[in-house]
A and B are shown apart, each in its own frame.
Chain A
Amino acid sequence: MAKAELKTNNKTEIEDSSSLKGTLASVFLLGAFIVVTWVSVYYLFVDRF
């Protein structure tokens, strides 16, 4: 008689979605981009007469 197999060793992996490391990295990448462009344009403004 066929026996319904129960795979007990198959664990469902639950991703830990509470980690915000990637978000932090992308926020600071964007932040650095904005700061660098702002400072370089400001330098141009100050350097010229």
Chain B
Amino acid sequence: MHMHKFEKIWLAFGIGALVVFLTTVGVSAFYLGNKPPSCLTTINVDKVDQTKPFDKPGLHKVEGKDWDYELVYVASAFSYNPVKVEVPLGAKVKVIATTKDVVHGFEVAGTNINMMLEPGYVSEYTTTFDKAGEYLIVCNEYCGAGHHLMSSMIEVKK
């Protein structure tokens, strides 16, 4: 089959780009261990307040794990518990969150922490808080009349 020289060039470029993009995604998933926030950990919606760790929302120091702190959030219409949290700068934190009623969003504005909270499921994201500042948490899944009032704050402090 005859192929123009230019066609060969842009086909090679296209296939090369595809290989680079897919390798990045593959390394991220299989080597760095990145995964979707909700990995099928389930919870009884009616007993969120009695179920560990959601019986004590907030920041907790943990020992013997890959991360230093666990930051637990319970979302419900139309608020987050806790409302304000201070996190030490440089701490490796596992954010664990769920909802008591409907689907809520959990977006820490200006960071990669952005999860959907679904009733009956636990969402989690592990990261190192390496930039000081105040970070606003907002709900980005429309959840009802008070959706726009849902917010919380994380303060990363030295």
Contacts and interface: CB of A to CB of B under 8 A. Distances in A.
Given A34-B17, A35-B17, A38-B21, A49 B128 contact: yes
Contact of B112 (A24, A28, A49): A49
A34 B17 CA distance: 10
Q: In the complex, which of the residues A20, A21, A45 has the most CB atoms of chain B within 10 Å of its own CB atom?
A: A20
Nearest to A44: B112
Contacts of A48: 110-112
A27 B9 CA distance: 10
B131 interface: yes
Nearest to A38: B21
A16 to B, nearest CB: 13
B30 interface: no
Interface size class of B (residues with CB under 8 A): 10 to 19
Nearest to B28: A45
16 contacts: A20-B4, A20-B7, A24-B9, A27-B10, A28-B10, A28-B13, A31-B10, A31-B13, A31-B17, A35-B17, A45-B112, A48-B111, A48-B112, A49-B111, A49-B113, A49-B131
A10 interface: no
Interface string A1-44: 00000000000000000101101100110010011001000100
Nearest to A24: B6
A28 B9 CA distance: 10
Interface in B1-31: 4, 6-7, 9-10, 13-14, 17, 21, 24
Contact of B127 (A23, A38, A49): A49
A48 B130 CA distance: 9
B6 A20 contact: yes
